[in-house]
Amino acid sequence: MTNEQELLEKYINKNFVPGSVRIDLVNDKIVKLTDKLGDEMKLTINSHGDILDADTNQIYASGGYRHRKSEYFLWEIF
């Protein structure tokens, strides 16, 4: 499991009821969630640590890294 996948898994475990979604690895940076009704969503993480929808690029959680190279620090999102 990649570092990105581990961060996504942490986010999912904190924000979804245990057992409510199935998690499938799509590739090294994308996971697919499927709920019990069959609805799906794909999550990914960008270079700033933001968790976002892989299809629409809507950000669900900020990774806390400022989006300027000179100002990196991590806010607690997990």
* Tens of pLDDT, residues 26-55: 998 899 999 999 999 999 999 888 999 999
| Better-predicted residue by pLDDT, 57 or 65 | 57
Residue whose pair of structure tokens reads 């570092």 in the numeric block: 3
16: left (phi over 0), alpha (psi -120 to 50) or beta: beta
pLDDT value at residue 66: 63
| Better-predicted residue by pLDDT, 64 or 22 | 22
Confidence of residue 5 (pLDDT cuts 50, 70, 90): confident
Q: Which of 21-30, 32-41, 62-71 has the lowest mean pLDDT?
A: 62-71
